Amino acid sequence: MRILLQRVTQASVTIDGQVHGQIGPGFCLLVGAEDSDTSEQVDYLVRKISRLRVFSDAAGKMNLSIADVQGSVLSVSQFTLYANTKKGNRPSFVGAGDPDHAHQLYDEFNTKLAATGIPVETGVFGADMQVALTNDGPVTIWFDTDQL
């Protein structure tokens, strides 16, 4: 699985002109899956992201987790994280997971992340979405379970 995490002051996802998910301070997550991804990788990512200490403490050091600051998550499915641009100018997405498998993992990830007590808003899997956010810091972190 691949997740691009951005620490945000606010984020929202709009579908067909209607806001579908919206958060204040927290993480905007772009989430992609491939066919070889498993529930164990979902568990690993939930553990890492829910405990990631990238929010500032009283001394201004990145030392607090999203739970410590009572933040929220906006999770957006993003098959284009698996784009291959090695040949030509048009990306290939053959590395992205089968939609049924990827959807199941995306839902599992969001459910398990919410079970940690972090409020989770989502986009709609496979929908054409417009994502708006204000990156805070900026702090942007890449997770790829193939690189464990």
Contacts of 134 (CB under 8 A, 6+ apart): 8, 9, 10, 11
Query: Quick check: is 79 catalytic?
Result: yes
Burial category of 1 from C-beta neighbours within 10 Å (exposed 0-12, middle 13-18, buried 19 and up) = buried
Burial category of 5 from C-beta neighbours within 10 Å (exposed 0-12, middle 13-18, buried 19 and up) = buried
φ/ψ (deg, to 5) at 113 = -65, -45
CA 107 to chain centre: 12
Catalytic residue of the set 70, 80, 130, 140: 80
Catalytic residue of the set 27, 79, 109, 143: 79
Contacts of 91 (CB under 8 A, 6+ apart): 80, 83, 84, 85
Query: Quick check: is 18 catalytic?
Result: no
Catalytic residue of the set 41, 78, 122, 145: 78
Rounded CA-CA distance 109/148 in Å is 18
Query: Quick check: is 78 catalytic?
Result: yes
Catalytic positions are 78-80
